[in-house]
Structure 1
């Protein structure tokens, strides 16, 4: 159970008034807080009595619970509600605000290395998903150019950043997000981001430098996402978007908008996602190759399916398939990081069809995806895809095949430091318990493997 700390015994009228405004019960609000905590990797036992204590002033939320409470009320209200608005002090964990993305990504990287509190307790917010829709790129660009230093940056400097990103991305796929996170963020803060303050011999090289650092920020965000640290991941994606705007306000910026939407969809929080991906498509169409465009369309399809706009989801799926057939230029490095486009489209088509309750189609797409990914280079992708395949087979009451797919997933997950793989194992256990009682072949052995993997 989460800790609670004593407070002054004055009623928290601000919190009470906001709860009255959004018109929800204490029990409903407590459930919302528990769900948001779970999104951010924390299991709470918050109940209506805890909410009552907060309102009466007998207790105040501790740790990250205040953030979860503010986010729960924000979602109910349809606008951002801060902790100050509900009578809570931000405290020492308050995140510093910085409009300069170079300074912001430097602070994030150092906060990671130094284990600073604000990043450790950062929570994913639905309002944060929509950040690009209100971002003033022109003002940021003017500020960045005004802060140019004197050190000359060459092409070799940019190439090294890209090489490091490629190397750690490859390791991430095999070993999980926990491998090399501190090394990546230290390099980002101490070497890559400061490079952007230098003088560049050409505008093309300057854009390439910003693009390279944006890709490294994306990798840091992706690592946090894989570890279930969604608040930190969202912060890196946001600053990666700002840097990408300086590199390429069309294709690369669109890709980072997709990253924010992808994260929200994986957390089953589709708010703003349709608008965000539509904005990404408006930026990217005509400026990206067919494979990158397909990846934007498939995220659009997932956003539509998550909001039960089924006919729009079907049209977006067709758009993704059509774009994938185009061979009109090289795929940029920022979208190559997701692996073979055909495999990614198949995987996300499967997730879209899952939301549409088409389990047969889901199975077919997962099997197609497995043929598209190199099993050695993309070991985690194969593991998670086998887990998803098992889910789709279980949904079709094909128990033996589900156990076989899940067993393959658990075997591949051995040695990985990844919260996503742990969640995949956890999600199969309730069905496995049923299979054990029915004495499905292999279920007991798989249940044992699952327990050992989570120990």
Structure 2
């Protein structure tokens, strides 16, 4: 199992310190020094996310800048490993947004989520739904529930149009959880969206 997968597995299990140690090793070792720019950018943004998760805010911000610089040095003339073919501006923007969200910088996180959606190709509609789901959650954290409802409507549009994945479904579950405090406030868009989300989950579960 490579360092990125080990880091992700440990992070998802809640071992944030261990995840950071693995991510740190991936940017300190010979592998990083010998990696292509695109691979360094991928390793770097994973490092940034683990730094943010461990409240190393300044270091996380610096890691994001380094990942951005690394990706800017990638070009068609460099032979990249097959495992990094997907990682471009849209993926970097998505991971940057998640890092900024974890750092509490919701405004910049939303901007990066939007950049990710704008720059990702139409072939990745499932990933679009996940990114938009995260963006809606971040908009809610910033207090923009009606704006979040507009974003989440796009998620449900995609899901009801035949797009499905476990991660995208989880965004719908999260959507309902975050809408829960607003259900009795008489916001019509909340009621409509929540009903659609409930109907969708009942259909796929």
With normalisation by structure 2, the TM-score equals: 0.88
> How much has 1:397 moved relative to structure 2?
1.1
Matched, 1:410 2:156: yes
Contact 1:399 1:440 in 2 (8 A): no
Give 2:63's aligned residue.
316
Greater share of helix: 2
Give 2:134's aligned residue.
388
CA distance in 1, matches of 2:15, 2:111: 26
Q: Taking structure 1 as reference, are residues 368 and 380 closer, same or farther at Cα in structure 2, changes over 3 Å only?
A: same
Contact 1:353 1:362 in 2 (8 A): yes
Give 1:304's aligned residue.
51
CA distance in 2, matches of 1:266, 1:391: 19
Long gaps (5+) in structure 1: 1-240, 242-255
State the SS of the aligned residue for 1:286: helix
Give 2:25's aligned residue.
279
CA distance in 1, matches of 2:158, 2:4: 28
State the SS of the aligned residue for 2:140: helix
> How much has 1:417 moved relative to structure 2?
4.7
Q: Taking structure 1 as reference, are residues 362 and 283 closer, same or farther at Cα in structure 2, changes over 3 Å only?
A: same
Give 1:430's aligned residue.
177
Q: Taking structure 1 as reference, are residues 365 and 265 closer, same or farther at Cα in structure 2, changes over 3 Å only?
A: farther
Q: Alignment RMSD, CA only?
A: 1.8
Give 1:257's aligned residue.
3
CA distance in 1, matches of 2:157, 2:169: 12
1:10-409 to 2 correspondence within 5 Å? 241=1, 256-281=2-27, 282-327=29-74, 329-336=78-85, 339-375=86-122, 377-409=123-155
State the SS of the aligned residue for 1:272: helix
CA distance in 2, matches of 1:411, 1:267: 31
Q: Deviations over 1:390-442 (max 9, x none)?
A: 01111111121100111111221233453222221111113323333222242
State the SS of the aligned residue for 1:378: helix
CA distance in 2, matches of 1:439, 1:283: 58
Q: Taking structure 1 as reference, are residues 266 and 343 closer, same or farther at Cα in structure 2, changes over 3 Å only?
A: farther
CA distance in 2, matches of 1:404, 1:428: 12
> How much has 1:343 moved relative to structure 2?
1.3
State the SS of the aligned residue for 1:439: coil
CA distance in 1, matches of 2:129, 2:89: 18
- Where relative contact order (Cα < 8 A, 6+ residues apart) is larger, the structure is 2
> How much has 1:387 moved relative to structure 2?
0.6
With normalisation by structure 1, the TM-score equals: 0.41
Give 1:48's aligned residue.
none
CA distance in 1, matches of 2:94, 2:144: 21
CA distance in 1, matches of 2:52, 2:9: 15
**Greater Cα radius of gyration, structure 1 or 2:** 1
